[in-house]
Amino acid sequence: MALTATTLIDSVSGIALDTANRTWSRDEWLEYLNEALRTTALVHTDIYVVQAELTLAAGEQQEIPADGTGLVDVPRNTGGRVVTQVDKGLLDESSRFWPAGTQEATVQHFTADPRNPLRFVVFPPNDGTGIIDLIYTATPPQLMYEAEELVVPDSYQAPLQNFMLGKAYQKNSKRQDLAKAGAYMGQWGQLLGLDATQTAAAMPKVAAQPGTV
């Protein structure tokens, strides 16, 4: 059974001893859950992997969809030939002028640079009519209602809950309980395999006291 926002909100409300939702409303918890999904996707890009068809632009330079965070693979031309990944240096060695070559609909090879995760290159240059199967990592879609199912694996329940509780204790209506906030955020990072430095970099920044910087 897929994980829902209701399941997570009920769980963190119980842990925070606020099942009546007097301190933290269910809308607040949903907001914290959405932030947890976005932040977790930044450090664990494979939390949400999408396979879709992509119509290519004319030329060799291509971009993954707007919701994407990184390219995983280009398996094949949709309904047709398999596409193989090659090193860009090999393409350049084969012909220094290949980007200016004849544009075609069918892709033979692709190459990508991890330093530029939102873009990739196809060979031969496309004529703008090619369609490929694309696998890419993306930011999970925002949850609007409690009854919605999460699109991420159920195994992420614990880290998401820890992040939500960390956010909640940063607010804590009367005062920021930074000790609890830090503890829950630390558990979030540990469950994701992050070290202390990585966890601190990903955590939302808060003031030492409410209203201060």
Q: Are 56 and 133 members of one domain?
A: yes
Range of the domain at 191: 5-46+141-202
184's tokens: 């829950």
CB atoms within 10 A of CB 107: 24
Per-residue pLDDT, 1: 58
d(CA 91, CA 85): 11
**In the chain, which residues have pLDDT < 50?**
206-213
Q: Are 69 and 113 members of one domain?
A: yes
Single residue among 138, 164, 193 that ends a domain in this structure: 138
Per-residue pLDDT, 210: 40
User: How many domains does the chain contain in total?
Assistant: 2
Per-residue pLDDT, 212: 37
d(CA 139, CA 60): 26
d(CA 88, CA 84): 12
Per-residue pLDDT, 193: 87
Residue 176 belongs to some domain of the structure: yes
